[in-house]
Structures are given as C-alpha cells and as structure tokens.
Chain A
Amino acid sequence: DAGITQSPRHKVTETGTPVTLRCHQTENHRYMYWYRQDPGHGLRLIHYSYGVKDTDKGEVSDGYSVSRSKTEDFLLTLESATSSQTSVYFCAISENSGNTIYFGEGSWLTVV
C-alpha cells in the first residue's frame, strides 16, 4: 500500500466554519492531489500540486484552497464550509512519470 495518511478520517462541521484536511505521504512522490467523490459523479479533481509551493486548480476548485509547504504534506482548506461540500475527500499521489495514481483511505466530511 502507498504510504498516504489522511486526517481527520471523519468530521462533522457547521456551515460557515473553515475546515482543513491533511494529507501526508511517505513515498516522496512529486504530484499530490485532492479529489472529492460524490454518488453519480465518480471522482472530481479539486486541486493538485506538482511540487513544493506549486499548485493548480482542478475542475471543482471553487470554495477550496490548498497549500504544500513540504514534499510530504498537502493541505486542503474549505474556507467557509457549505452543505454542498459534504463529501468524501481523497488525497492521492503519483510519481513524476507513469501516471499511476495512488489513493489514501479518504476523509468523510459532513457539513450541517
């Protein structure tokens, strides 16, 4: 199994509060990603990083920000949580080449 740790694994928060999800990898992979998974939508890319302090938007980035201060850590922040952000969030990593993506175990977020 790829060494990817997500925290917290489960969280319930109130609308309007900021939330930060953490992803830590031990594989020294260059690329890191945050996806959200919702029924009927598969996985949708929120943001990705291709190196320390190098990040870019995915297809559903509104309302989210990310930071990567170290190779091994990638943080996803919901600036002001909304009910539409209730989802399962997956961190993933990939090497420079080959394009195989390895996933973490997921973080279940409920916004009430």
Chain B
Amino acid sequence: AQSVTQLGSHVSVSEGALVLLRCNYSSSVPPYLFWYVQYPNQGLQLLLKYTSAATLVKGINGFEAEFKKSETSFHLTKPSAHMSDAAEYFCAVSDRTGGFKTIFGAGTRLFVKA
C-alpha cells in the first residue's frame, strides 16, 4: 500500500531564504511522485512530477524536487522564497497503475515573512 507523509503542517521562512518542504513516501513499486500547490480559494495546480526520467525534477516558479530512493524522499526546494510562494503544498504518490490510486499528503502551509 502506498502512503505519503509531509513533515510539518506549517513552515515559515523569510523572503529570500531557502524553502524546504519535506515529503516521504512508501510504495511497493517504483512510484510516480508529484508536488501540487494550492493558493487560497483555488484548486490544486501541478508544480512538478517525477516519473523516473531524472532524479532532479524542475518545476514551475523556480521549484525543484529530488527523488532519493534510499531515503524514500521527494523534498521540494526553492533557493529564494518570494512572497507570492505563500500557499499550501501537497505531495502525492501514485503506483503508476492509474490516477485513481494517487494518494495525497495532508499538506504543508508555507508562510513567507517580509
């Protein structure tokens, strides 16, 4: 069975500081992994996706994530936070057999301080 754990329901950083949002997964087969972002009162938008082509995945808005099989992690990073990055971020895992088996983490809310 798959599962995904996001460490920290809230993360606060200063503008210009490194953003690190942690995600650990469990999957019995090689997974697809996703990061989504949700701005207030909106749906989720895909930030980036790992499908085994490359372990370092670059997404939109300067975000990237690295797949580390040995650590079963897929942490999301951005070198320099911007006020507009304040949102909720969701990590998700799929076992590749179909979208209906995609499991979402509980989410991490990112606060960016001026």
The interface of chain A, by Cβ under 8 A from chain B, is: 4, 31, 33, 40-45, 48, 50, 56, 58, 90, 94, 98-106
Contact = CB atoms under 8 A, between A and B. Distances in A.
Contacts of B90: 42-43
Given A40-B9, A42-B90, A43-B90, A101 B102 contact: yes
15 contacts: A33-B99, A42-B90, A42-B107, A44-B104, A56-B100, A90-B43, A99-B96, A100-B34, A100-B49, A101-B34, A101-B46, A101-B102, A103-B36, A103-B43, A106-B43
Contacts of B27: none
A106 B102 contact: no
A99 B32 CA distance: 8
Interface residues on B, range: 20 to 34
A69 to B, nearest CB: 19
Given A33-B99, A48-B100, A42 B43 contact: no
A105 B45 CA distance: 10
B44 A90 contact: yes
Interface in B8-65: 9, 32, 34, 36, 41-46, 49, 51
Contact of B41 (A43, A48, A94, A106): A106
B106 interface: yes
Question: What's the dominant secondary structure at chain A's contact region?
Answer: strand
Contacts, number: 55
A48 B94 CA distance: 15
Interface in B84-114: 90, 92, 94, 96, 98-100, 102, 104-107
A102 B46 contact: yes
Given A31-B100, A56-B100, 9 more contacts: A40-B9, A40-B106, A41-B106, A42-B106, A43-B90, A90-B43, A99-B99, A101-B46, A105-B42
A16 to B, nearest CB: 28
